[in-house]
Structure 1
């Protein structure tokens, strides 16, 4: 879970409109977060959590939060389970699986998570690296299995990418690990590498229980089953109602770390319209209002306040290059060319008091000092898109649709959820692509279908994207390495550049090199396009403390699950 936006070192896929454990209602906090920030800006403007000391909060109580989808695959390390909603669900109950060795500050700075890894040391000699990890003596899974060298070794074995039957999202830096062995005891883990790995938090930000050790268990064992016995966190699973799509959590008496303030946490699967009604009725304690329809409906809700910040999101144009006609790079380039990104953002952010310039990176937000605009098309518009297709051998048929060898440039845009603005965004995109000579429909799906559709690659093009971290090293491998990216697009030259990246100790130099790889890949393959980043606007029940837009400290808007709670009345 790099930068707390990932699980097991990969970025999580996100719908364009996500309910992910957010907040939301009345007097606005963080009013300066009305625009996307640029490099060197004050990131505190993008954080709004009503920070309180845990000792000053009311002990006990319940928080109820919405998710766009709960399950059916609860393995966040797999493609089918790799979603922001799944990550948010696991945060309070499985810090071993989602935080592991590392904690992160709001700006993305990593430090050892002492609940699991009390100390992490690195030494490089003769081009090889030795990482020594001192594991907390008390750390253990809910079933009593110690968290020790066996968990670290199994994490490496499952994620290093050698066994192609294991449906991992990306091997990340694990493919550069040579061995994981015990040091002076099983609680001292000694990791040796084939080449240096930077940053160190590219490894073991999420640990896999030793029992999850076959492709069958990894790929299929979590369907409909959270397996709480293989978790470790301040809360535990109390009840999972698969029919009602509700998960209830209680304090975990086996947790050795700080005791949480709350007594209970409830997650409910809700479409956006249902979440709005539930918040107004007092049934849930937070909800996103990242488009104008929910914002207007929620504005003025009783006992609520608004918390604003930056959403850790990049995307809008998620293309499935393995599904015809998206297999043709000319089609993909024509899509990038036909799109009017400014017009799409106006639809998306209409009425929200939010401004941002065109973002051009899937890996970093514009406020990062490492950021550069890598969007691969400069001349855009309908005629420019038609020229791309014409140059590739397409001609207009009787209906005006560009086709080649009798096959038209025809596909659908998958849109998720029932938010009107999100649909309007998809329809505007549809019209832009139609003007560019493409026959484009809309495949409307429920929010609950998001993980299944994206995980099984059952789409042509999706209005979705990925969470964004503070460092591009892991993301560049996930998105652009030909052996690991979902579109299987890339080449040996770029793969070699990506492999070299993790050996660069200097953060500036490494991220600059990552940006260069993204620029080359986008210009050649056109697989993912950034239309927007966007705000995180949350309506939150008045009195809820330590919850809200948190930048890199927490994708799920809970910086620390042991401190979230209610102010004393």
Structure 2
């Protein structure tokens, strides 16, 4: 698959979406003997890419993958560019300064950086030594102008830039040229622990030059690139984006001739894979896994990804503006039951998550759910009583001031059966505490752009992925700034959470940093921001014979080495 989403990935993806220690390699499906979820979930650092040296691969060939919607915004730092597949494509065609190993540790990418290191701690100064060969598709070399423009656009100082996150950039004091045109020095006003998160991907100065160019010039296209791949064709009719090797690339040449992304209905992916129309398909839902496991031309590749299925609550409209109503929803949902449904007939059962910021198999994970760890119908009902929502009799929704307690649960029209089953279970669970839930299906291509990103829902379920840099989660919980909600789509926040998360991002002592993030998480639970459900398994069905691709877990694939065995 494509390079997983990292620093700018932000990404929320629908539960039905596919993305993205020694590799297991052989493609075993990892099932327990009874095939009913008895296996053990992979540990942090687990990945399965079927690794092979390039000499084992033939030159040429096409790799076809499915994405969940046509891409309308290719600027991953813009509020509408945070959809997962868009950022994944951008990461293949733009400079990725850092790559990740299986443990999720970043390393300088030599194609773009000769080195990157902290050269001073008071103040914190980072020196980037650029590869002199690195250049943009318009022929301009990568340089200080690109870093400076990206910093200024994402600093948060000019509100006309519709930025998805300012984390880290708002702590920079200056960006300047170093000893020559190939060195860039970034000086921080306050320390920033996750400094490798910044400028990755690096984007051209032309994109970040003005609010208009930032917000609009990459709508539907990536006009300037700078990596091994470039966009060969956008075909909106066929809903395909075709990447081809860039002939001006200075690094190792890709083994593939084409890398094709095909936007299709989520329900169609399994059929498309079995019909050999695409070369990989998500197998992380029971119905998909059971259909795919009988295909003899298929490997199952399993990794441990930062991938959280989340029930988002909108605190900016309707009944959920009241924290007591949000807390009642948190207590009314049986997360263990939803995780069990997700693990039915799967190789292993997903783990319920009691932390918004860390995965259960990740260093720093603490159970901060407290009173919200288990379903508590009695307490949920009491909270609704206190909020003024009175019972109206068996089978009827509660009411206040003559209005029934009704929430709209928005979901994409192409949601897979698991997502529908879980929505109906949530509807039933909340009905038992007196909340009526109306399920509303919306066009898949509109789900993020018109509903999630705009806060046009009361409840919705999506995935948050690849928050490996701890500070990258800040955008999900920070206080909105006017019309800009960043990634806090439900606009639930507090000054206290902001303070704790910003302080954590400035703390270089890892143990203190972890403690601050966990303190913030406990407050997030009390706010009723959202309900983290479980860690979604990374299970990919992939065509036998495809090497160096599959389930990277916390790491990266090297896209130039993805290819077909001889």
Matched, 1:121 2:120: no
Query: Structure 1 pair 201/502, CA: closer, same or farther in 2 (3 Å)?
Result: same
1:257-336 paired onto structure 2 within 5 Å: 257-336=251-330
1:243 — aligned with what? 237
2:10 — aligned with what? 11
Local SS of the residue matching 2:93: coil
2:67 — aligned with what? 67
2:23 — aligned with what? none
8 Å Cα contact 1:31-1:308 kept in structure 2: no
2:458 — aligned with what? 460
1:54 — aligned with what? 54
Cα deviations by residue, 1:148-207 (Å, 9 ceiling, x for unpaired): 001101111111111222221111111000111111223211111111111221322222
Q: CA deviation at 1:318?
A: 1.2
Local SS of the residue matching 1:206: coil
1:381-400 paired onto structure 2 within 5 Å: 381-397=376-392, 400=396
1:186 — aligned with what? 181
8 Å Cα contact 2:306-2:468 kept in structure 1: no
Q: CA deviation at 1:323?
A: 2.5
Cα deviations by residue, 1:363-402 (Å, 9 ceiling, x for unpaired): 2211112111223514523332211111222212366322
Whole-Å separation in 1 of the counterparts to 2:39 and 2:474: 26
Q: 1:153 aligns with which of 125, 141, 148?
A: 148
Whole-Å separation in 2 of the counterparts to 1:519 and 1:35: 31
2:426 — aligned with what? 429
Moved more, 215-224 or 195-204: 215-224
Matched, 1:405 2:381: no
Gaps of 5+ in 1: none
Q: CA deviation at 1:302?
A: 4.4
8 Å Cα contact 1:364-1:471 kept in structure 2: no
8 Å Cα contact 2:64-2:259 kept in structure 1: yes
Query: Structure 1 pair 221/457, CA: closer, same or farther in 2 (3 Å)?
Result: farther
Whole-Å separation in 2 of the counterparts to 1:302 and 1:154: 51
Query: Structure 1 pair 331/306, CA: closer, same or farther in 2 (3 Å)?
Result: same
Q: 2:338 aligns with which of 340, 344, 362?
A: 344
Gaps of 5+ in 2: 21-25
1:78-117 paired onto structure 2 within 5 Å: 78-94=78-94, 96=95, 99=96, 101-117=97-113
Q: CA deviation at 1:253?
A: 0.8
Cα deviations by residue, 1:310-360 (Å, 9 ceiling, x for unpaired): 343113311222232322212211110100011111222211132244211
Cα deviations by residue, 1:428-457 (Å, 9 ceiling, x for unpaired): 011111111111011123443333132222
Q: 1:470 aligns with which of 468, 471, 494?
A: 468
Moved more, 136-145 or 350-359: 350-359
TM-score by length of 2: 0.91
Q: 1:493 aligns with which of 485, 492, 496?
A: 496
1:530 — aligned with what? 532
Whole-Å separation in 1 of the counterparts to 2:509 and 2:350: 29
2:212 — aligned with what? 216
Q: CA deviation at 1:4?
A: 4.8
Give the count of matched residue pairs.
Answer: 545
Whole-Å separation in 1 of the counterparts to 2:290 and 2:497: 46
Q: 1:519 aligns with which of 504, 512, 522?
A: 522
TM-score by length of 1: 0.90
Whole-Å separation in 2 of the counterparts to 1:564 and 1:27: 16
Local SS of the residue matching 1:415: strand
Whole-Å separation in 1 of the counterparts to 2:6 and 2:404: 38
Moved more, 286-295 or 315-324: 315-324
Whole-Å separation in 1 of the counterparts to 2:503 and 2:552: 32
Q: CA deviation at 1:548?
A: 1.0
